[in-house]
Amino acid sequence: MLVVIKQDYDEMSKEAALLVADLIHRKPNCVLGFATGSTPLGLYQELIRMYREEGLDFSKVTTFNLDEYVGLPPEHPQSYHYFMWENLFKHINVDRRYVHIPHGMAVDVEEFCEWYEERIKQAGGIDLQILGIGANGHIAFNEPGSSLGSRTRIKTLDEFTKRDNARFFENQEEVPKYTITMGVGTIMDAKSLLLLASGNSKADAIHATVEGPITALYPATIVQMHRKATIICDEEAASKLSRKYSGYLS
């Protein structure tokens, strides 16, 4: 696992964008896994800038998002469909036929989840999966206690995550109870992982992920077992690491 510590959020975002752009240059038809939330917004801004100013070409890229709230239609402002189109996809030349985001209104959720797993396989697997991390150690919506071998499925949101995500809704009652999320096993199948973390609120989670024991109580800790995982974080998120120098391999 490569841990890269950058000074602040902007530096973290730019470093992450270089890594993503490098993959697109090497493999224009690559498969990218995207995350939502506050953390990757700076990365997405930088990718948009690279598209506009440097001609970074997304036309052959296939995308898969990590998760979506159950019960929110794609046009709902808090849905992850809406988030991805507003914050990235509508600003770049991605081909909408190659975009995949779990469908929050799927009639048969189980069948949908199987189809999603199958689509990832048909696309040749995910080349690079971008991840944020919950302060409780979740990746995607694999909350503490999630099976480390899990596949795409429906999950109940943790009370902690509901409180955390209430900032995006009118009140906590409006936060959906369930999500469709890639499983920990699905994420671990990606050929490479890029986990981003910024701010003091993520310091404990980053400490556990990099230096703690692997446990389903902190699903992100499984990243230690991945053959090609990069964590890019800022100094605040790295502040609780005991071995703290940028660019170290663990």
Q: Which residues are catalytic?
A: 67, 136, 138, 143
Number of C-beta neighbours around residue 15 at 10 A: 20
Instruction: Output the smallest distance, CB 53 to ligand F6R, in A.
Output: 26
For residue 190, give Cα distances in angstroms to 42, 148, 218, 226: 23, 14, 19, 9
Binding mask 48-87 for ligand F6R (x = CB under 6 A): ------------------xx--------------------
β-pairing, 67-69 with 178-181?
antiparallel
The residue range among 86-94, 98-106, 112-120, 130-138 that interacts with ligand F6R, by the rule CB under 6 A, is 130-138
The residue range among 53-61, 104-112, 127-135, 237-245 that interacts with ligand F6R, by the rule CB under 6 A, is 127-135
Instruction: Output the smallest distance, CB 36 to ligand F6R, in A.
Output: 4
Which is nearer to ligand F6R, 35 or 175 (by Cβ)? 35
Which is nearer to ligand F6R, 87 or 224 (by Cβ)? 87
Which is nearer to ligand F6R, 27 or 163 (by Cβ)? 163
Interface with ligand F6R by CB under 6 A: which residues? 35-39, 66-67, 132-134, 138-140
